[in-house]
Amino acid sequence: MSVGALNPPVTVQEIRHDLARRRLYFLIAGCIASLLIAAGVWMLAILLPSRTGSPIAPLREICQWIYQTPSSTGIRESIYLFPLIEGVHLLGIGLSVGMLCWFDLRLVGLAMTDQSVSKVWKRVMPAAFAGFIVMFVTGGLLFWAEAATAYDSMDFWIKMGLLLLAGINAGYFELSTHRHAGEWDSQQILPLKARLAGAFSLLLWVAIIVTGRTMAYSF
């Protein structure tokens, strides 16, 4: 009996079913991880003091000075300007993180696996970068309006720490892993380091967004 008879060739339909099954498992795992991260952030918000009481006097004095400037007071007390900035900030988050998530999902192997990594990068990143610019500019204005309150908020510092981790993850990916992106264009399932970078990015941005919501309720 021939080897081919013992091991019949795998059909395209079977390959598709296998990929769909793996995507489902990854999505379930991602949802569970996101829920655990959200629960962890909420627990930190509950267990840790809402005010830091930090003794770093110079930084506190700078934040107090910003808080008392006419521009800070004007934004904070404006009926229309503050909610407008906050609304644009949320739109910036939706655009930047939403587009970035598509690339992260491609890295993990859950979306657009029929598209090369380079093509997905070129399609989503221009919009993601534009969204990040909007997000950081409006976020800076919101901080300017609430500098003293933000300085004393534990949720604010948790969010800044998570943003730092997300930046480190993105920087490491750009400086090391992304250099080999051209070699992955023919691969549906990418190397482990690429998949980890995408997974960490997704989880960190979930935590950042959840922390941003807890911070809004702690002010």
pLDDT tens sequence across 2-40: 445 555 555 656 656 666 676 676 667 667 766 777 677
Tens-place pLDDT, residues 45-74: 666 655 555 555 678 888 889 999 999 999
Lowest average pLDDT, out of 13-17, 32-36, 178-182, 194-198, goes to: 13-17
Amino acid 121: pLDDT: 86
| pLDDT surpasses 70 at 41 | no
User: Mean pLDDT, to the nearest integer, of 137-163?
Assistant: 89
Cα 151 to Cα 64: distance, rounded to the nearest angstrom? 9
Which stretches does DSSP call E strand in 74-180? none
| pLDDT surpasses 70 at 94 | yes
Amino acid 54: pLDDT: 54
Amino acid 215: pLDDT: 78
Amino acid 209: pLDDT: 86
pTM of the model: 0.76
Question: How much of the chain exceeds pLDDT 70, in percent?
Answer: 73
User: What is the number of structural domains in the chain?
Assistant: 1
Burial state string for 159-182 with b = 16 or more CB within 10 A and e = fewer than 16: beebbebbeebbeebeeebbeebe
User: Any alpha helices (H) in 48-116, and if so which ranges?
Assistant: 57-68, 70-77, 81-108
| pLDDT surpasses 50 at 178 | yes
Amino acid occupying residue 184: W
Q: Quote the domain boundaries for residue 64.
A: 3-218
- Backbone torsions φ then ψ of 215, nearest 5 degrees: -65, -40
